[in-house]
Amino acid sequence: MGIFNPPPGTEDILPGEVASWQFIEKNAGDVFSLYGYSELRTPIFEYTELFSKGIGEQTEVVQKEMYTFEDRGGRSLTLRPEGTAGIIRALADTAQQGGNPRVFYLGPMFRGERPAAGRKRQFHQIGVENISAPSPELDAECIAMLTHFLERIGIANASLKINTRGDVADRAGAGAKLREILAEKLDSLCEECHRRYERNVWRILDCKNPACCQVISSLPPLDALFSETSRSYLSRCLDILSKQGVAFEKDQRLVRGLDYYAHTVFEVVHSGLGAQNAIAGGGRYEIVPPGAKNPVHGVGFACGVERLIMAAKSEGARAIPTPRSAPVFIVSIGEQAKMLNFSLAQSLRASGVAAVADFEDRSMKSAMRAAGKSGAIFTVIRGDNEIQRGCVVLKNMQDSSQVEIQADVAAAEIAARLKGKDSLKDVLQ
Ligand code: HAM
């Protein structure tokens, strides 16, 4: 660990990578607004109780992964490990008055997990929440919106898995039945699953231990644990998706790691990612915000932005542009040239052309090397010689040809020459 490294599980997003982030964020906003969603921004930290109650005391996120601290006033606060609980808090009032807001959000989330490829301690989510009473149509629409977004950003090799957690009335009974089925197989389960058996039996279905996997794959169909109401709710949602041509796999083992889900749950996994292969997850939920009497119902999902970028790159995504570098680089030889070039750069910017003026006292050779590295389309060169003749040299960096142009019309001339040219390369770096 060097002093220039950020803490484990965090990373800098460098200028060369930011274009991919902006591309994803922009397309998320564009696609979600087609479905009537608007952006909502909530605080990065909240009262701890919001998460422990909202996500579930027995979940791994709450038990092991939260960044919790006491502030100077003795309040327990937590860096948000996910977005849903905060969004529900912010919308609880509107929801209690019968409103059905549709919102999307993006930003950093924090979980103290063991860092690995695709698993960060500070990661970023783009998510949506549709506050609404249970409705298989709205669940299907939410899932279709997710696939629409993934297609828009050029991710094709993803698989969508869908399951039900049963409605709230159904869940306790279904959990008891699952415990019954697993009781006689307990000896074959790992130590952690013994704990899960007591506290959160559904999480056993998620265990990656080979012995547990064997037990899990030998279980009878789990649909039978749920009521007819829950089963037909899921069938209707799946029916709609099939009719819309959305490809999915019904996965009876999908449980999700957060306790607020009821009815539909889903996850999108991508083959190009390795062990941490979930690029998005979500479902229908029921959350009672602290201080409220009634639960807020909704459906939503969140995508991990780091993982979306990894997935897009693994597919050689052409849709994500490389960063745009300034098309004009300006080299000054001498103090007077610096003054004049300061003005030239301002005039170019005023006409909408991005320009970088180099004011370092260095040799012509080293300034031209910097110009070459900058990715500019044109380099302007001005020294005493050009000043005397009232001109500047304009070098085309693509074919190395040079022309002299009159200094007083240089900005307009360069802007005209750049029309239709674009430094954007179509391929992902
Ligand atoms: P989640 O499945 O915990 O769901 O997270 C959603 C996505 O965030 C994951 O599929 C993954 O892409 C990304 N993610 C999670 N943890 C990490 C990590 N440590 N490093 C990198 N990426 C990560 C939720 O958070 C729910 N709030 C989603 C939701 C919204 N459900 C209903 N509405």
Q: What is the pLDDT of residues 142-152, one digit of tens each?
A: 999 999 999 99
Ligand 1 pocket: which of 59, 125, 145 to mutate (most atoms <8 Å of CB)? 125
Quick one: pLDDT at residue 231?
95
On whether both 305 and 357 belong to a single domain, the answer is no
Residue 424 reports pLDDT greater than 50: no
Nearest residue to 341 (alpha-carbon basis) of 351, 328, 352? 328
Give pLDDT, residue 427: 25
Residue at which a domain ends, from 286, 314, 342: 314
Q: Do 141 and 299 touch, CB atoms closer than 8 A?
A: no
How confident is the model at residue 322, as a pLDDT? 59
Per-residue pLDDT at 425 exceeds 50: no
Using DSSP, state whether 70 is helix, strand or coil: strand
Position 359 scores a pLDDT of: 94
Query: In the predicted model, is pLDDT for residue 324 greater than 80?
Result: no
Q: What is the pTM of this model?
A: 0.88
Based on the fold, state whether residues 282 and 337 are members of the same structural domain. no
232 plus 84 within the same structural domain? yes
- Which residue has a Cα nearest atom 18 of ligand 1? 119
Measured CA to CA, the distance from residue 394 to residue 401 in angstroms comes to 8
Contact of 307 with 274, CB cutoff 8 Å: no
Q: Using N-to-C axis directions, what is the helix angle for 305-314 and 15-34, rounded to 10°?
A: 100
Q: How far, in Å, from the CA of 429 to the mean position of ligand 1? A: 26
pLDDT-derived band at 428 (thresholds 50, 70, 90) equals very low
Contact 125 CB / ligand 1 (< 6 Å) = yes
Residues 6+ apart with CB under 8 A from 29: 39, 104
Q: Residue 323 pLDDT > 70, yes or no?
A: no
Lowest mean pLDDT among 101-115, 312-326, 368-382: 312-326
Domain with 337, as residue range(s), is 328-428
Question: What would the mean pLDDT of 49-54 be, rounded to a whole number?
Answer: 96
Instruction: Indicate whether 253 and 398 sit together in one domain.
Output: no
The predicted-structure confidence for 237-278, as pLDDT tens digits, reads as follows 999 999 999 999 999 989 998 999 999 999 999 998 988 999
What is the number of structural domains in the chain? Answer: 2
**For residue 392, what are its two tokens?**
């500047």
My answer on whether 357 and 391 are in the same domain is yes
**Tens of pLDDT, residues 351-365:** 999 999 999 999 999
Q: What is the mean pLDDT of the chain?
A: 92
Last residue of a domain, one of 314, 347, 380: 314
Quick check: 324 and 424 in contact, CB under 8 A? yes
Q: Is the CB of 297 under 6 A from ligand 1?
A: no
Mean pLDDT of the region 218-241: 94
At residue 96 the predicted structure's pLDDT band, cuts being 50, 70 and 90, is confident
Tell me: do 387 and 310 sit in the same domain.
Answer: no
